């Protein structure tokens, strides 16, 4: 399938006059249509709720849009809790799915009334000692180990993942928590990441629903919700078939009716904690070609670098690139598209066939709406870019300004040298 850009060349020409490249641009219309379709796909479950994984795109303006559709927030750190609170997402609209959790984070999550999702059995005592009680509603993260397969395809390797409790531990944890006064229980698992298949959620649901029936029978607890977490992926590559959220919702419903309903558990709510699926395709990184270099390979140097989008450098991920205004040109030039870090892995594309690129061309790097800006950092003293929202009416709104040197030096503010640096 051809990958389309959600902004036109004409719109972009206007936007860059106000906001110089590089910046991340988000598509309000796309975000809204997608969240509506997700809600419809799970409307068969009266308790259904999406807790947006804030880490994917921690921008209050964007999370606010999802909140309008009843989404909560999945947080796993102190600052993510603060962000949620600031936009009025509080109490049980927050799922605190943390791991290796510092005490002060449990304290804040409890103070805000968030649902706490325990990553480990030892965290029961740690939580109780930290906050002085066990909450009435509590969730546990499950990791069955082994390989997670769909037919013969290995989707991921839970046995090698640091998250969650073993089968034995989750039974034990539920018994202990019940003794300590917990009333409503949740089960959570995240067994495969960025799955581009309609079968992942239904397969995961089967594992969790069967486990839930056993847990309810053997420990006598009331299971209130099952949290399928994140993991629904997006087609980064043009030849990938996108997920069909309706088929995914239907697949989960079938397993629900097959496993939970006959066990008398037809009141269990389904929760999700999607990140990538909610925002990934609705963001892109807009950058300008500023150099071309002809050495042992052909390089196009752009004004963005890996600090603005780390996925290619970190995981070798593919991100599609469109050269604006040259959509219909033949892709007959082979380029490495590189940033300016003193690191040879700072490349957005390697040996990519693209139209002939000239200095000044705008390159749109696709699917940066989740785990894009969010993974940014400041190596080489590089600054984080702005974030801009392309609104439904076609206008552009700044939703985060670009960093300045003063931001970079801000943590020297308690020293004399800092005062000098910040003024520069
Ligand atoms: C990262 C994460 C998510 C979201 O994952 P996506 O792949 O972006 O959907 C959900 N839940 C937890 C606990 C996570 O760590």
CATH number of the domain at 161, please: 3.20.20.10
pLDDT of 298 reads: 98
- Angle made by CA atoms 235, 238, 239, in degrees to the nearest 5: 90
Give the residue among 320, 339, 347 at the shortest CA–CA distance from 331.
320
Place of tokens 């698992």: 189
Report the residue among 229, 236, 317 best suited for mutation to probe ligand 1: largest number of ligand atoms under 8 A from its CB. Answer: 229
**Rounded to 5 degrees, what are φ and ψ at 209?**
-65, -45
Q: Distance between CA atoms of 106 and 112, rounded to whole angstroms?
A: 10
Catalytic residue status for 414: no
Query: What pLDDT does residue 168 have?
Result: 97
Q: Beta strands 94-96 and 115-118: pairing type?
A: parallel
Report pLDDT for 283: 98
Are 234 and 184 within 8 A, CB to CB?
A: no
> Does an H or E element contain 53, and which?
strand 49-53
337 within 8 A of 22, measured Cβ to Cβ: no
Give burial (CB, 10 Å; 0-12/13-18/19+) of 356. Answer: middle
Which residues 6+ apart lie within 8 Å of 14 measured at CB?
A: 396
Ligand 1 mutation pick, 34, 50, 55, max ligand atoms within 8 A of CB: 55
Q: Is residue 355 part of a domain?
A: no
Q: How far is the CA of 273 from the centre of ligand 1 (A)?
A: 6
Quick one: pLDDT at residue 149?
Answer: 87
Host domain of residue 128: 22-280
Joined tokens for residue 413: 């503010």
Residue nearest to atom 13 of ligand 1 (CA): 97
The ligand 1 atom nearest the CA atom of 97: 13
**Is 341 inside any structural domain?**
no
Question: Is 403 among the domain residues?
Answer: no
Give which of 386, 385, 389 is closest to 305, Cα–Cα. Answer: 385
Mean pLDDT of the chain: 97
Residue 357 CA to ligand 1 centre (angstroms): 36
The residue ranges of the chain whose pLDDT is under 70 are none
Residue 128 has a pLDDT of 98
- Phi/psi-derived region of residue 184, left when phi > 0, alpha when psi is between -120 and 50, beta in every other case: beta
Q: Given this model, what pLDDT does residue 63 score?
A: 98
Q: Is 392 helix (H, G, I), strand (E, B) or coil?
A: coil
Q: Is residue 235 part of a domain?
A: yes
Mutation pick for ligand 1 pocket among 231, 272, 283, 368 (CB with most ligand atoms within 8 Å): 231
Q: Which pLDDT does position 155 carry in this prediction? A: 83
Burial profile 294-330: b = 16 or more Cβ within 10 angstroms, e = fewer = eeeebbbbbbbbbbbbbbbbeeebbbbbbbbebeeee
Q: Is residue 6 part of a domain?
A: no
Nearest to 282 by CA among 338, 343, 366: 366
Give the total number of structural domains in the chain. Answer: 1
Contact by Cβ (8 Å): 148, 192 = yes
What pLDDT is recorded for position 325?
A: 97
330 inside domain: no
In a domain, 216, yes or no: yes
Q: Which atom of ligand 1 is nearest to the CA of 55?
A: 1
Tell me if 196 is assigned to some domain: yes
Pocket of ligand 1 (CB under 6 A): 53, 55-56, 74, 97, 190, 193-194, 229-231, 273-277, 370
Phi, psi of 287 (to 5 degrees): -140, 155
The reported pLDDT for the residue numbered 423 is 84
């Amino acid at each position: 399938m051809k990958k389309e850009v959600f902004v036109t060349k004409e719109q972009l020409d206007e936007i860059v006059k106000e906001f110089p490249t590089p910046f991340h641009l988000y598509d309000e219309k796309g975000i809204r249509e997608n969240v509506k379709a997700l809600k419809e796909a799970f409307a068969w479950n009266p308790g259904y709720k999406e807790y947006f994984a804030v880490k994917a795109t921690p921008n209050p303006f964007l999370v606010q849009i999802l909140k309008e559709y009843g989404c909560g927030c999945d947080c796993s750190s102190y600052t993510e809790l603060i962000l949620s609170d600031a936009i009025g997402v509080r109490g049980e609209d927050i799922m605190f799915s943390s791991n290796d959790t510092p005490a002060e984070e449990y304290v804040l999550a409890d103070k805000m009334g968030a649902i706490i999702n325990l990553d480990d059995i030892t965290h029961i005592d740690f939580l109780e000692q930290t906050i002085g009680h066990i909450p009435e509603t509590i969730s546990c993260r499950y990791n069955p180990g082994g390989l997670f397969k769909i037919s013969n395809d290995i989707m991921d390797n839970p046995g090698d993942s640091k998250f969650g409790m073993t089968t034995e531990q989750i039974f034990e944890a539920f018994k202990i928590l019940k003794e300590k006064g917990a009333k409503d229980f949740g089960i959570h698992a995240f067994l495969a990441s960025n799955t581009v298949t309609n079968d992942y959620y239904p397969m995961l649901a089967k594992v969790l629903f069967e486990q839930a029936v056993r847990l309810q029978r053997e420990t006598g607890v009331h299971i209130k919700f099952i949290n399928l977490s994140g993991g629904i992926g997006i087609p980064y590559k043009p030849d990938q078939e996108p997920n069909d959220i309706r088929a995914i919702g239907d697949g989960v419903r079938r397993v629900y009716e097959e496993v939970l309903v006959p066990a008398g558990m037809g009141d269990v709510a389904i929760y999700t904690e999607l990140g990538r699926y909610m925002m990934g395709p609705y963001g892109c990184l807009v950058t300008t070609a500023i150099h071309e270099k002809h050495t042992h390979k052909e390089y196009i140097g752009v004004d963005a670098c890996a600090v603005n989008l780390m996925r290619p450098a970190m995981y070798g991920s593919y991100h599609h690139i469109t050269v604006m205004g040259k959509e219909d040109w033949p892709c007959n030039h082979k380029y490495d598209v590189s940033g300016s870090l003193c690191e040879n892995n700072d490349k957005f594309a390697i040996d990519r066939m693209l139209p002939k690129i000239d200095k000044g061309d705008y390159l749109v790097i696709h699917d940066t709406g989740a785990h894009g800006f969010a993974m940014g950092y400041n190596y080489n003293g590089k600054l984080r870019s702005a974030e801009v929202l392309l609104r439904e009416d076609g206008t552009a709104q700044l939703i985060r300004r670009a960093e300045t040197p003063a931001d970079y030096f801000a943590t020297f503010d308690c020293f004399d040298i800092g005062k000098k640096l910040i003024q520069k």
